[in-house]
Each structure stands twice: as structure tokens, then as C-alpha cells.
Chains A and B, each alone.
Chain A
Amino acid sequence: MSVLTRTVVEDPWVAVHNLSVTYPGQANPVLRNIDFSLCEGEAVLLIGPSGSGKSTLAMVMAGLIPQSVEARVSGEILRSKTLAVPGSIGYVFQDPEAQFCQLSVGQEIAFGLENLGVDPVTMDPRIQEALTTAGLAVDPEAPNYALSGGMKQKLALASALAMDPALIICDEPTANLDPESTSLVFAQIAELVKAKRTLLVIEHKFEALLAIMPRVALLDRHGHLYRVGPTQEVMREEWDWLLAEGLIPAGMQPDFNRDYLVDRQTSKVPLGSEILRADRVRYTYAKKRLQKRLKRQNEPIAMAIDEVSLSVQGGEFVAIVGPNGSGKSTLLSLLAGIKNPTEGTVKRPRASSEMPIPIAFGFQNPEHQFVYERVIDELANRYVGDQVPSNVDALLGEFSLTGHGEMSPFALSQGQKRRLSVAAMVRDPHLAYLLDEPTFGQDAGTQKKIVERLQGLQAEGRAIVLTTHDMDLVFRYATRVIVLVEGKILFDGTPLALYQDPELMRQANLLVQTGTRSKASMPLTLKSRFIQVDRHQAESPLGRLNPGLKLVTTILAMMISIFATHIWQGVALGVVPMLLLWLGARLTPWQIVKRMAPFILFFAFYTWTLTAYSRVGPNTPTVWFLWYRLSWVGLHNGLVLAFRMLASVAFGVVYVSTTDVTQLVVSLTRNFKVPPKFSYGSLAGIRVFPLFEEEWNKLRQARHLRGKETRRAFFTRVVTYALPLMTQSIRIGERVAVAMESRGFRDGVANDPKARTYYLDTPVSIRDGLYMGLVMLCGLAILMYVR
């Protein structure tokens, strides 16, 4: 196979002829013999079933395949001169968590501009302009990881727009978003189409886009381009094909009239006895201490769930809907007993010997539930060796997993993972099945299989409770729907009653809309708990020093402190960084005490150890205290070591309190000539950190629910925790790297510090030398003169 990439002069901007693409390790090509082109001013919607190669085609068009993502490519790729320039193609990826590499909104947008070599002086106005065009009204200094999903996608769009790309590619930008955020992104796409920008949009919830995008391209499940043409015409003529490929729910009318969905016979399952009951349940994420303080001050406590009462009976199929952050998942966890209500009570069936786990719970991300290394063990919930139990075999068949039994659950496709997690849930009988967004990101086939299996359980008299954003699912299968907004129940009734109240649905943001420009606000609940420097400290004399040189000084200071042998030397060396914190970093004495307190406890402990356990000579005076023999020599040694450590820790606190990690990265590259790909690549990896905490908590909850069979040997446990965390972080890391490369961070720009410009300045001045000199002088003077 060979690929020919040519640069042509004019229209079309980008074209592929006879293009085939095969990923390494896969036998079949994902795209076969594609002929496709994109001309200036065209806006094309690309649709097809999952696995049909939509993203692959987009990445070939963008030049990311085969440069950034390895694949065997054959055929011909023609690109016009306009698109051969770096930064001429803006790419918005699917995963809002995995396409940023900086810590603040402004720096994120600037990153692409830096790669283009834009003059830093002109960056601020361009950042503002991009934010305005993308409809994102936030401070450029806001931390980007605290944005909501929809705002993150807008930021991705702003980052692309700032580079003034000729072609913008949006690759399922709303796949991970709720209807409200989806509406935000679609409204922005509509603006771009209106402005005659050249666009390629991949979208799997495409209904609302049909009115916006003038052209549509269809890919079939084998990777062939099935048809390209004007949207209205294609939709009219290919409706049956779309139904057959599962791109539109079965039974849907060409005008997307949903009456047929709610028209169905209402469930004939007789309602059984009450299984779950919540009485005036309230829940807050605020810590106990904060709750007490707020109560004292008579301030309201933010409630995630507020006065919710409901009862679920056997034979019910309950869907909980509502915008993101409305408390759907929280309510579900409260019902399942994963969380305990702050106020009110939840009544659940008691476990019995016939039914040890009366309530089954399914996490949104199926990976959180996997504890075994093979699919068959996962299904049996124990290590089964070569003897596959017959019920496991039956489950494999029922959930189309036959032939995958020996595989690692993590190696399955998204759809297979979800089917496996549901199969594991239905293995043993339970009274109620609670599932958090079970159809999220699944293709039509998997959705149908899962929901119909749940319906079967419902028919047997079990209760099903799930959260979802998919209103088609609600109308089609649910017997009861609960609309949750801001932790309160806004509606509790039949899907038909909800369907007949479009005003309510609009109010609760249950539908994807276009045309309205909803306002986006910053979620206030997320605190920045990451390495972040207070503005006051950043503007202090120490905050303005060069971060790289300051790090060198800090290390030198630590090296000097090691030569302290007398207690007063230790004390004096400890006093220096305290003074620096006070005078140089402008922390108040109280702040200094608060920052140092945890360390002081440690060193008190150290001192005690040496006092009580130091080996002492026979003539050394000692004091007996309880059963410890305390010695002055030991106390002295302990104090010296403690103060020495304290000094080196305090210098560290000086550094961390006054240094922004992004500036350190910039300084490493600008002043210390570290290739940008190492410094910026590391920063991109470090910024993934806050995700770990969330993942870890979910894993613990999932393990807790699995019961005691899964508490096994230490090493196995390490592996079962490490696997989901690592596969997840590796996936995110890879995506981030591709996203960075799509913004021009490749080749020379990534290797040569001089090939790009820098938004942040990290000048080296005489002050850096003075600081280093001062610290060294103080240190040496203390060692020489203090006795």
C-alpha cells in the first residue's frame, strides 16, 4: 500500500481518491475505496453507524492520519495550498476531558497561536475574539478543568477558531454532553454555517443538525461512502437505509414525529409491592464542618437532593431525567445505598440468604465495575479456570459475547463492555436494578439489547430505575418518568403526560434545541484543588522571579541546609525561608503558620523519636519518663535534624506558594532549552491528575458493591485497581497528544524552543541573581558564624 499526498492549487480544498485505511493489528480496513471532497464554504454533516470510520475519514482530511495516529493508508490525498499551511485546520474532538494541555482558558487558546508563531503582543485580542465567536463568556484566567462539559467543547472550538482555520472539523463534539450543552454547541455550529465557514461535522445525535447543515455524507458499516448530497434530498430518499443501519430509532417517521413512541400500549405488568421508598430525602456534598459553620451563620447549605420523596414498586420501569448537575446520579446512589442521605430516610429491602444483594447497581462507566481479568470470570464473579459454568456460557450467548470469554474485559469495545456489565448484573436475581445512564455512548443495537433485557426483568415483576438523557428511550420503554431539576422533583408521572407538556420539557432542558443561545454559567461547586498560585503571591517579589532559576536556588538552599550540625544553625536556616514567605511572598504570619503546621507535627514526631531512641554513651545524663529514657543528646540531634528538614521543606513551600506550574514549564523551555514536547507534554500529563480522584472514588464504590468475594490478595487487588485507572489514563494521554498535534504542535515546533512563540514571558533579570546570591550568602553565613 502506498499513499500519495499532493498539494494542488485550487478547489476542492481537500479531496481523497480511492482511500483505504487499516489500523495496525487489525485485519480489515476501516475505510474502503473512499472518494470524497470538500470545497470552500461547504458545510457537510458526516453520519454513519459506530465503527464505520467517520473519525478516521475526518482525521485523514485533517492530516492527523498517518502523521499523528498510525495507520496504513492507500489512495490519493489532495490538499490545496490553503490547507497545507499549519494551523489551517481546526479540530474539535469528542472527549471534553481529553483535548486540553494547559491549565487556564487563555493559555489553552494561546497554545495554538504559539505554535503558529503569532506575536505574543497580539494574542490577547485574538483570545478575546475567539471566546466571543465561540460564545464562551468566561475570564481567560479561569481554570479550564473547572468548566462544564459543554463549556469545554466551546473552549475547544474557541481554541480552533483563534488559529483562524480555513477548515473546521467537529468530531462528535456533543457525544459526552447532555441536551442542554448539546444545544449550546449546535447553536455555535449554526453560527459558523451562517458565516459561510467550511465545516465537516460528525454527529451521531444529528436530528437537530439536519436543519443547519446543507450537505450530508453517509458512511455504511463496512467503511464505504454510501452517498453524499443535499441534506433534504438525501434524508428523503435514504430514510429506509438510515433505519436499516440503525441510525434512526426503528419506527420513526420521516418528520421525526414521536407520537408513535408514546402511543404504544402502556405496560400490562401489574404493579407489585413497594421495593424502594425515599422520604423527604436531602443530600449535600458539603463537608460536615462546612455544614455546621453555615448552620451557625444561618446561611443556606447547597443541596444536591432537596426534599425528594418517592416510592418504587415491582414491575415499574422508572426513568430519571433532567439536566446535568440536577442530581440524577446522586439520587440513584442514594436509592442504591451507595450514599447515605444527609436528612430523611431511604427504605430498602433487607438482604436475605436467598437474595444476598437485593439491589443491583450499574455505573455509568462499565469499566468501574470490572474486577477480573477475563470476561468469563467477570460473569461468574469468581475465578473459574477452564470450567466455564453453563449459566456463564448462556449469558455469553445472550449478550453476543460468545468467543470473547477469554479476553480481558477492558479489551472489549464500548458496546461489548456495556453488555458485559449488564450481563453480570442480571446473572443473579435482584429485586431492583438501578442503572446510571446505561445507554450512554452506545450504538442503536446495544441500546436495544440492553433495554429490552431490562424490560424482560420488569415483566417478571422486578423494578427498573435508570437515569438517562435519551428521551426516545423514555417515551418508548418507561412506565414512569421523574424530572429532576436542581435536586427537586419537577414532574413525576407517565411519559405520555410529559410528552404532552412541551413547555415543561423545554424548562427542564430535556430536548436538544437550536436557534436559542442559552447562556453558559460557571459551575461554582468545583474548587480548584490543583497546583494553583494565589494572585497575591504571584505578584509578590518572589512570584515575579524566573521559575527555573528559582528552582535551582531552592535546591541549592536545601543542599546547604544539610551541613547544619548545631541546633541554632538549624533554627536560623529555618527562619530564613519563613522570612522569605513573609516578606518575599507576602503571606501573612497566620497563613505561614497554617501552611507549615502539618510539617511541624511531623518534625515534632521526628524529634521525639531521636530523643527517646538515640543511642547514648554511658556517661550521658538521661531522664526517665514513663518507660522512655530521654537524653539531651538525643533531643539535640532530633531538633537539629528536624530543623534541617524544616528548612528544606520551608524552602519548598516558598517555591510552591509563589510559582505557577505553567510558568515553570515555559521557563524550562525558554531559559533551559528543554524541547517543548517534553515540557508541554509533561504539563499536559500532569493536568490530568484531578480526574484520578474521581475515578478512584468510583472504583471504591464499585468494589464495595461487589461484596466480599472480590477482596483478594494484595497483588491482585493492586492490579484490579490499577487496570481501569491505567487504561483510562493511557487512553486520555493518547487523545491529548493527538489533540496537541492537531493544533500545530509537531515536528520543528515541538522540538525546537525557538520555533514557536510564548504567551507567557519568563524573563531572566538581575533580581534572579540577587535572590540566588542572597539565599546562598545567608546559608553560608549561618553555617560559618552561628554556633
Chain B
Amino acid sequence: MQWKLRDIVVAAVLATACGAIYLGWDLLYKFLPPSINPVAAAGFNGLWWIAGGIVPYIIRRPGAALLAESIGGFVEFALGSPYGIQAFTIGMAQGLFIELGFMMGGYRRYTLPWMLWATALGGIGNYIYSYFYYGVDKLTLPVQIGYLVVTMISGAILAGLLSKLVGDAVKRTGALRNFEIARQVGKAS
């Protein structure tokens, strides 16, 4: 379970790429029609923590989700996200909750249900952060519940399912031979 240097470097490379994707998503999100219902808009949220899905899925070390989301968020911030430093802090919040999900699996379980579960938890991190910082507290209770549920589902699909699809495809190329994802074959994936 020890982090190797190559785990860290590759995690950072992937998280940095995700940070650039986040920035693109920030801009796309801003072009949603302003009248859109907050519950519907929450469907977009999940992609903002895909680093927290893809990196732990490949690297499979304790703290991978938190590290990836911190780096991804920091890069998004440093590249000039309209959310400023919040891009970094919300990244950590999301990463922390995804981390909880993988921790419950003892950092050994990365099957599809576990991926969906952990990345859905990322949605709770997003909800709590948005509650305090992005005015979700001003919404009525049913809308808030709707926001939370849709955010978690969005996370499970955009950050969880997508990560697994991409991760498995990369694994088939043989590029991950020296990583934990290739070693745990047959055990639980």
C-alpha cells in the first residue's frame, strides 16, 4: 500500500489534465441558461471530481482521491478559474468525501459498485461546500434534497462510471502494467 514515486507523478499528471478539464467545464457551466432549475443544473456537477475517480481507480493507494482532487483543483485555480481559490478548496472537500468511500472499502475494493458509491459520496462534499458558499442554504428543503440527490447521481456517473470505463480501456492497452490496477486483477476487479 506504500506510495511509489511513479504513483505520485502519474497521479499528478492525470490530476493536472483533469484540472484543465474542470476549467473548461467552469466555462461551459456559465453558459447554461440562467433560468435553469438548480436541481437540473446539479446534473453537471459530477465531472468536477473525475480526478477523484480516475486516479484512485488506477493508483489504488490511501489518499489518492484527496491528492488528485487537491492537485486538480489547484491547477484549475491557477489556470484562472472564475471560481478563484474556491476551485481549490471545493476540490479538497469533494476529494475528502470520495476518500471516505474508498477507505470504507479498505482501499482494496474498486469494483463498479464501489466506484459509484465513492464518487457519489463526492457529491456530499460538493453539497456541504455549496450549502455554505454558493447559496444552496437559501433554497427550499425539497430543492436542496433534489440538489443533493442529483449531484450524487451525477458524481456516480460522470466521475465514477466514466472513470471506470476510461481506466479499463487504458488498462487494456498495457500502459498500466506497473500500477496497482494491473496487480489487483483477479482479486476484486
Contact for A733 among B6, B80, B174, CB less than 8 A: B6
* Contact, CB under 8 Å: B84 / A648: yes
**Chain A residues with Cβ under 8 A from B20's Cβ?**
689, 692
How far does the Cβ of A513 sit from chain B's closest Cβ, in whole Å?
36
- Count B-side interface residues using an 8 Å CB cutoff: 47
Q: Mark B1-22, 1 if CB is under 8 A from A, else 0.
A: 0011110111111111100100
Q: Which of A641, A652, A653 counts the most chain B CB atoms within 10 A?
A: A652
* Contact, CB under 8 Å: B10 / A685: yes
Chain B residue with Cβ nearest A661? B78
Q: Mark B119-153, 1 if CB is under 8 A from A, else 0.
A: 00000000000001101000000000000000000
**Chain B residues with Cβ under 8 A from A684's Cβ?**
9, 12
* Contact, CB under 8 Å: B132 / A719: no
Q: Mark B160-189, 1 if CB is under 8 A from A, else 0.
A: 001001100110111111110000000000
**Chain A residues with Cβ under 8 A from B84's Cβ?**
558, 599, 645, 648-653
Whole-angstrom distance between the alpha carbons of A411 and B84 in the complex?
40
Query: B82 an interface residue at 8 Å Cβ cutoff?
Result: yes
Q: What is the total of A-B residue contacts with beta carbons within 8 Å?
A: 168
* Contact, CB under 8 Å: A730 / B10: yes
With contact pairs A649-B84, A652-B77, A715-B165 given, residues A677 and B16 touching in the complex (Cβ less than 8 Å)? no
**Chain A residues with Cβ under 8 A from B100's Cβ?**
none
Query: A686 an interface residue at 8 Å Cβ cutoff?
Result: yes
* Contact, CB under 8 Å: A685 / B16: yes
Q: Report A's interface with B, CB cutoff 8 A.
A: 24-25, 68, 70, 101, 373, 408, 410-411, 531, 554-555, 558, 562, 598-599, 602, 605, 608-609, 612-613, 641, 645, 648-653, 655-656, 661, 677-678, 681-686, 688-689, 692, 715, 718-719, 722-723, 725-727, 729-734, 736-738, 740-741, 745-746, 750
How far does the Cβ of A374 sit from chain B's closest Cβ, in whole Å?
10
Would you mind naming 13 contact pairs between A and B with Cβ atoms under 8 Å apart? A410-B173, A555-B85, A598-B82, A677-B3, A682-B12, A684-B9, A685-B10, A686-B71, A688-B13, A727-B173, A730-B170, A736-B9, A737-B4
* Contact, CB under 8 Å: A685 / B30: no
Query: B106 an interface residue at 8 Å Cβ cutoff?
Result: no
* Contact, CB under 8 Å: A686 / B12: yes
* Contact, CB under 8 Å: A737 / B16: no
* Contact, CB under 8 Å: A682 / B82: no
Closest 10 CB pairs of A and B: A685-B12, A681-B8, A649-B84, A410-B173, A737-B6, A652-B84, A733-B10, A609-B34, A652-B85, A411-B174
**Chain B residues with Cβ under 8 A from A531's Cβ?**
78-79
Chain B residue with Cβ nearest A601? B82
Q: Which of B71, B75, B82, B179 counts the most chain A CB atoms within 10 A?
A: B82
How far does the Cβ of B89 sit from chain A's closest Cβ, in whole Å?
6
Whole-angstrom distance between the alpha carbons of A719 and B163 in the complex?
10
* Contact, CB under 8 Å: A726 / B165: no
Query: B67 an interface residue at 8 Å Cβ cutoff?
Result: yes
State which residues 61-96 of B face A: CB under 8 Å. 67, 71, 75, 77-80, 82-86, 89
Chain A residue with Cβ nearest B5? A737
Contact for B85 among A651, A678, A725, A745, CB less than 8 A: A651
Contact for A558 among B35, B85, B166, B175, CB less than 8 A: B85
How far does the Cβ of B157 sit from chain A's closest Cβ, in whole Å?
10
Chain A residue with Cβ nearest B86? A648
Q: Which of B71, B85, B169 counts the most chain A CB atoms within 10 A?
A: B85
Whole-angstrom distance between the alpha carbons of A690 and B166 in the complex?
22
Whole-angstrom distance between the alpha carbons of A25 and B34 in the complex?
54
Q: Which of A608, A609, A649, A656 counts the most chain B CB atoms within 10 A?
A: A649
Q: Which of B162, B172, B179 counts the most chain A CB atoms within 10 A?
A: B172
Whole-angstrom distance between the alpha carbons of A733 and B15 in the complex?
12
Chain A residue with Cβ nearest B135? A641
**Chain B residues with Cβ under 8 A from A692's Cβ?**
16-17, 20
Chain A residue with Cβ nearest B87? A652
With contact pairs A558-B86, A652-B85 given, residues A738 and B6 touching in the complex (Cβ less than 8 Å)? yes
Contact for B13 among A562, A677, A729, A738, CB less than 8 A: A729
Whole-angstrom distance between the alpha carbons of A562 and B137 in the complex?
13
Contact for A408 among B11, B80, B132, B173, CB less than 8 A: B173
**Chain A residues with Cβ under 8 A from B82's Cβ?**
598-599, 602, 645, 649
**Chain B residues with Cβ under 8 A from A746's Cβ?**
5
* Contact, CB under 8 Å: A719 / B8: no
Whole-angstrom distance between the alpha carbons of A25 and B182 in the complex?
10
* Contact, CB under 8 Å: A733 / B177: no
